[in-house]
Structure 1
Amino acid sequence: MELACSRRVLRKRRPLTISRGTSSETENLFVEVRHGSTVGLGEMAPIGYGQAQTAAGAEAELVALAGALAGLEPFSLYAVEQAALAAGVCSAARAALNMACWDWVGRRVGQPVWRLIGVSGRTAPTSVTVGINPPDRVRELVCELFAEVGPGVSLKLKLGSPEGVEADKASFEAARESLPPGATIRVDANGGWSDSDAPAMLRWLAERGCDYAEQPVAFDDAGALECLRERPLPVYLDESVKDSSDVPKVAPFCDGVNIKLMKCGGISEALRIVHTARAHRLRTMIGCFSESSLSIAAAAQLSELIDAIDLDSHLNLVDDPFCGLEMANGCLVCSAGPGLGVLPR
């Protein structure tokens, strides 16, 4: 198999502010896997926390790996995955490689990836995201988003404001007041609360009908998770869970885990997380970084196995470089076409 890589800047229609900062654009890496006459496509999106992962770094790692892959074919998903792990390739670059191999396999046999996984391709409604903003701007954004995407979706509100929990409360109330009838709200603090603030915030949110909270406390402070043993509101952990080996460690402190292809290394490892979470009686969620329809479609292939869907980053792009992923009644619609079902524009 042969690899080809190219980088492209993806610009956001609306800058997104979370507890760690604001992003208006990202440089993503797009990967082609070629074997015979078939080509599979994959995408890497950068990760900005922990050990940062960039498109340039991912490209260098994949170029260095190309020689080790020359004797393999994309059908050998496990062998390709293990070669990338042995070479120390970062998780987001492995995700691009793995989804490109899955796309290749689907195209080669003429079947969508969801069918190869053994699911139906049906998805639950996704959420759409509003970042940290003053209350008046939150109200405007909620109304704009629901007007654009239509009914059926839920709202995910970013909290963890540097101005403190009172600012978070004001934002939540503004968002809740602006929701259309029947819509629900969940929040994501991205680790922005202290272990003393988090329990009180979870109680406050539970009293106001919040669906669930993501990553209340910092991922790199293992002791902070202790405050989550008793939870008045369902908690999903995101940054604390990179791959399936992390699931048993966090199981006592959460109700579910947020799977992201960029964190875990692709579709293959995402499936392992699902099964590990189920073994620990945890729910599953699937989310994204700043990704185009290509990797959103890759994540959506798993949707029938997932309890909560948060795949909306492609909706906030000025120029999504891929097409083929549709949306109906708040749900992503996986294509019945081969592979991941999306094509370059």
Structure 2
Amino acid sequence: MNIQLYQYTLPLQHTFGISRERYDTQDTLIVCLEYQGKTGYGEATSNPYYQITVDSLKQEIEALRNAIAGFEVPLQGPKADSDLAFPLQFEKWLRTQELSNFARCALDLACWDLYGKTLGKPLYQIWGTELGNLPISNFTIGLDSPEVMVAKMKEKPWPIYKIKLGTSNDVGIVTELRKHTDAVFRVDANCAWTAEETIENARALKELGVEFIEQPLKADDWEGMELVAHKSELPIIADESCIVETDVARCALHFHGINIKLTKCGGLSPALRMIREARELGLKVMVGCMTESSVGISAIAQLLPQLDYVDMDGALLLREDIATGVKLLEDATVVYPNAPGSGVELLAR
């Protein structure tokens, strides 16, 4: 396989705020794996919370360029649910290398896209799923003044909003937003609350039409999360507490569901295993995005038939996309291209 790397700085439609940071652009790395005239695309974005930059990603992957070029490619091998399927063989090898999960994700996504394009089928079909009863993606409203958050909602009418919180007036913010829409709300405190705040806020937020709360406590506050899991009047979904596969079982004792991020867990291969384990443990399953372009969003979309909830609005938050692929229309409908793999093509290199 030949490998190409392209970096972009993606301007956002609006300043995006959460409890710990605000930003106006998103840096991202696109990985292209080329083999016998076909190209698979993968993506990983930078993230200061996890100390990931595009430069660090490029350095990690460049160190493996020759090894990747020499990797044997049995693309027409066993079925996708077999441990011997090529993308799973490739991902197993990646796990033996000195790579961050973000770098592994970009390579894993590109490999699955290449695999699907070689077989001439979209990934959801290769995995034995069909496009029926798909969950609706939320649209995220970044943390800001209530006036700005209301304006963003009015600019983008949507059936489900994820509301970023993390202030001393979070219930007041949601109360104000509720005056302007009947949409379903989900709230994400990004680790900013205590257990006591979460339990108290959940009572008020339930009355305001909130569906669930995402990661209210710090990622390592397992004692607090156990208390919240038993006393919260709303379901609690893990995000920062559920990074990799080994986190799923522990989350089953402290949360009602998990939010899987492809960049954080290492790609589609581990995400498929996490979904399977979460189902076995009775957890609700969500997949979220990290403000990726349509390259990363189209990979997430291949998992939709297996999910309860999804947050795949990353490309909608951008001023300009860099790829074609799976799209979210203005009415929240998901449109899949008539194309194999993840359905992705890069607009410019």
Name the residue aligned to 1:134: 145
**TM-score with structure 1 length normalisation?**
0.92
- Tell me how many residue pairs correspond in the alignment: 333
1:189-241, CA deviations, whole angstroms, 9 ceiling, x for partnerless residues?
Answer: 01110223121111221232211110010113333323323121011101110
Matched, 1:55 2:54: yes
Name the residue aligned to 2:66: 67
- Contact 2:248–2:278 under 8 Å retained in 1: yes
SS in 2 for 1:253: coil
Amino acid at match of 1:121: L
- Contact 1:61–1:89 under 8 Å retained in 2: yes
Amino acid at match of 1:112: P
In the TM superposition, residue 67 of structure 1 has moved relative to its aligned partner by 2.5
In the TM superposition, residue 42 of structure 1 has moved relative to its aligned partner by 0.8
Amino acid at match of 1:142: M
SS in 1 for 2:8: strand
Name the residue aligned to 1:84: 94
Task: For structure 1, list consecutive stretches of 5 or more residues without a partner in the other structure.
Answer: none
Match of 2:338 among 320, 336, 339: 336
Pairing 1:1-345 to 2, within 5 Å after superposition: 1-49=1-49, 51-69=50-68, 70-73=70-73, 75=75, 76-122=86-132, 123-146=134-157, 153-161=159-167, 164=168, 167-179=169-181, 181=182, 183-230=183-230, 231-328=232-329, 329-345=331-347
- Contact 1:257–1:283 under 8 Å retained in 2: yes
Question: Please, which moves more after superposition, 70-79 or 205-214?
Answer: 70-79
C-alpha separation in 2, matches of 1:207 and 1:38: 52
C-alpha separation in 2, matches of 1:313 and 1:144: 16
- Contact 1:185–1:210 under 8 Å retained in 2: yes
SS in 1 for 2:210: coil
C-alpha separation in 2, matches of 1:109 and 1:132: 43
C-alpha separation in 2, matches of 1:155 and 1:100: 30
Q: CA 1:103–1:227 in 2, change beyond 3 Å: closer, same or farther?
A: same
C-alpha separation in 2, matches of 1:74 and 1:63: 23
C-alpha separation in 2, matches of 1:291 and 1:71: 27
SS in 1 for 2:173: helix
C-alpha separation in 2, matches of 1:210 and 1:276: 27
RMSD: 1.5
C-alpha separation in 2, matches of 1:100 and 1:293: 13
Q: CA 1:121–1:48 in 2, change beyond 3 Å: closer, same or farther?
A: farther
In the TM superposition, residue 142 of structure 1 has moved relative to its aligned partner by 1.1
In the TM superposition, residue 128 of structure 1 has moved relative to its aligned partner by 0.4
C-alpha separation in 2, matches of 1:334 and 1:257: 25
**TM-score with structure 2 length normalisation?**
0.91
Amino acid at match of 1:143: K
SS in 2 for 1:86: coil
- Contact 2:293–2:322 under 8 Å retained in 1: yes
Question: Please, which moves more after superposition, 80-89 or 287-296?
Answer: 80-89
SS in 2 for 1:336: coil
Q: Identity across aligned pairs (percent)?
A: 31
Amino acid at match of 1:105: Y
C-alpha separation in 1, matches of 2:74 and 2:163: 39
- Contact 1:121–1:334 under 8 Å retained in 2: no
In the TM superposition, residue 245 of structure 1 has moved relative to its aligned partner by 1.2
Name the residue aligned to 2:79: none
SS in 1 for 2:219: coil
C-alpha separation in 2, matches of 1:344 and 1:299: 17
- Contact 1:212–1:236 under 8 Å retained in 2: yes
In the TM superposition, residue 330 of structure 1 has moved relative to its aligned partner by 1.4
In the TM superposition, residue 74 of structure 1 has moved relative to its aligned partner by 7.1
